[in-house]
Amino acid sequence: MRRILFISALLVISNSLFAQKDVTKFMGIPVDGFKSEMIQKLKEKGFVSSASDKNILEGEFNGAQVNVHVVTNNNKVYRIMLCDAHQMEETDIRIRFNNLCQQFKNNSNYVSFGDYEIADDEDIAYELTVHDKRYEAIFYQKPLAIDTTEIANIVKESVLSKYTQQELDDPTEEIKKDIAKISIDYLKEIIPKKSVWFMISKFAGKYYITMFYDNEYNRANGEDL
């Protein structure tokens, strides 16, 4: 029992075999399934079809007017893309970009591994034009907690291939570190599958934010080549 509890405590938020159930969500909707179903769910959230293209939705998201695109791979939704409906000047796009960074940082549902805010004295236009710099920020929705007994049962086979039952009943510090590494490895596999990122886009001398909610499980991986 102690062995199960110990492994479970380390792996409480990670489990690659169950990860397919835990996909990126946009406004509470899993980024998955068929395009027509996704469009209907988005309409139930208040978005409406664009007059120019019924596959593009329009509406308000996080205080901004946006155009919403549903992107598929093999008829399965893998991305929700949002583009600001209104373009802005350089100072305003810097403020909008940095505000988004702060909002994601302050949201406990996300984790990040970098600082993406743009310095006040940076010349965005120059960097985009001369250095072809890409202003983007990436965050990851945290994996959902999974039943600890399920995790223990799945991890057990892997762990028992390395250690005896007796070693696991009374683990050394080295064994504890190794089992902890298993947890980290699982997290490294799961976390990138639920990415939410945004970037500064430019058109006709003005700027806007493009944001992506990606389900990496449905992304093309060369299987059709």
**Does residue 148 or residue 54 have the better pLDDT?**
54
For range 78-93, the mean pLDDT:
97
pTM over 0.85: no
Comparison of pLDDT for 139 and 168, the residue scoring more: 139
**pLDDT for 173-183, tens place per residue?**
887 787 777 66
Element (H, E) at 44: helix 35-44
Residue 14 and residue 183 in contact, taking contact as beta carbons nearer than 8 Å? yes
**Mean pLDDT computed over every residue of the chain:** 84
Q: Please give the structure tokens belonging to residue 69.
A: 């695109």
Q: Is 65 helix (H, G, I), strand (E, B) or coil?
A: strand
In angstroms, the CA 6 to CA 156 distance is: 11
Crossing angle, helix 173-190 and helix 2-10, to 10 degrees? 40
The span from the CA of 94 to the CA of 24, in Å, is 27
